[in-house]
Chains A and B, each alone.
Chain A
Amino acid sequence: MTSTDADLADKLAMALSGGLLLLGVVVTGLIEALDGAPRGAAPTTNDAGEIIAQPTIDPNIRTALVVAALLVLLVYAIYRLAVPRVEARTSSSTADTQPSD
């Protein structure tokens, strides 16, 4: 297998981390934006600084989804360290890069 092929671990990590990231940022963001003020993730305040509207979706849930996406990438990275890809390289090209002793 060359490094340009995605194996099952790659596909799972991409789908899960990408799904969580897009859910936490885009999908929940769209719901928040369409559901009236505040359109962002922070409460709306008046001139006196009093909170007059809270976000529909708790920002902690959204950040948790983003952090979960990062954790998936971390788990994938650890897995890839433990189970490296089998590169389709020739032994002669590898020898060129080895330090001489």
Chain B
Amino acid sequence: MSYDAATPLRNEFDFELSGPWAAYWVAMLRVITGWWFVHSGMGKLLDSGLNFGAAGYLQGMSGTTMGPFATFLAGFPDLLGALVPLGETAIGLGLMFGVLVRLASFFGVMFMSLFFVGNGDFAHGMVNGDLMGLLLFITMIVFAAGRYYGLDAFIERTEFVQNRPRLKYLLG
């Protein structure tokens, strides 16, 4: 057997996503990433209710890569005041329980993209905590993390989803 340099995993090593440790660890990452967002959203809900002040932060992003999008969002301060804490909590709960993980992670990527650009914490280089959080959400999507010890594994087996296979792009 010749060595396949382009795809080394085809050689003597298998990436065993069906193996116990890979599944376990994907689930662990999912739950802890979910808790990260639940904690953030729940803290805002407990402290500010549905009136979280996010507009100022977004307005301050003018001139950054995501400036046009951020300042557009800042035009809806009342909506943002409710959506930010509720959204963070919902994303986090989705990940923790493994429900609609890909959909939740999509919105997680949106949040983290804004934080990555808005915080601009590049003192130690471009790879910082915000970028790592952003990459974690993408990892959840790529590995369909909700299928490992998550409720998406059961939801995907329902007849409703079986008859609508495109839903697996939101679940899993």
Residues of A within 8 A of B (CB): 3-6, 10, 14, 18, 21-22, 25-26, 29, 33-34, 37, 39-40, 96-97
Q: B71 to nearest A CB, angstroms? A: 28
Q: A5 to nearest B CB, angstroms? A: 7
Inter-chain contact B20/A29, CB cutoff 8 Å: no
In the complex with contacts A3-B16, A96-B1, A25-B21 CB distance below 8 A: no
Q: Is the interface of A mostly helix, strand, loop or mixed?
A: helix
Interface stretch, picked from B31-39, B62-70, B107-115, B135-143, is B31-39
In the complex with contacts A4-B19, A29-B39, A18-B32 CB distance below 8 A: no
In the complex with contacts A18-B28, A25-B35, A29-B35, A10-B42 CB distance below 8 A: no
When C-beta atoms are compared, the residue in chain B nearest to A2 turns out to be: B19
Whole-angstrom CA separation of A40 from B10 in the bound complex: 44
Inter-chain contact B21/A10, CB cutoff 8 Å: yes
In the complex with contacts A29-B35, A33-B46, A39-B47, A18-B12 CB distance below 8 A: no
Partner of A21, one of B14, B18, B19, B32: B32
Inter-chain contact A39/B43, CB cutoff 8 Å: yes
Partner of A14, one of B1, B21, B47: B21
Inter-chain contact B18/A4, CB cutoff 8 Å: yes
Inter-chain contact A39/B20, CB cutoff 8 Å: no
Inter-chain contact B20/A10, CB cutoff 8 Å: yes
Whole-angstrom CA separation of A3 from B23 in the bound complex: 13
Whole-angstrom CA separation of A85 from B31 in the bound complex: 28
Complex interface: chain B residues within 8 A of A25 (CB): 32, 35
Whole-angstrom CA separation of A30 from B39 in the bound complex: 7
Complex interface: chain B residues within 8 A of A18 (CB): 24, 28
* B11: interface (CB < 8 Å): yes
Inter-chain contact A26/B31, CB cutoff 8 Å: yes
When C-beta atoms are compared, the residue in chain A nearest to B12 turns out to be: A97
List 23 interface pairs A-B (beta carbons < 8 Å), by A numbering.
A3-B16, A4-B20, A6-B20, A10-B20, A10-B21, A14-B20, A14-B24, A18-B24, A18-B28, A22-B28, A22-B31, A22-B32, A25-B32, A26-B35, A37-B47, A39-B39, A39-B42, A39-B43, A39-B47, A96-B1, A97-B1, A97-B11, A97-B12
Complex interface: chain B residues within 8 A of A97 (CB): 1, 11-12
When C-beta atoms are compared, the residue in chain A nearest to B47 turns out to be: A39
Complex interface: chain B residues within 8 A of A37 (CB): 47
Partner of A5, one of B11, B20, B35, B46: B20
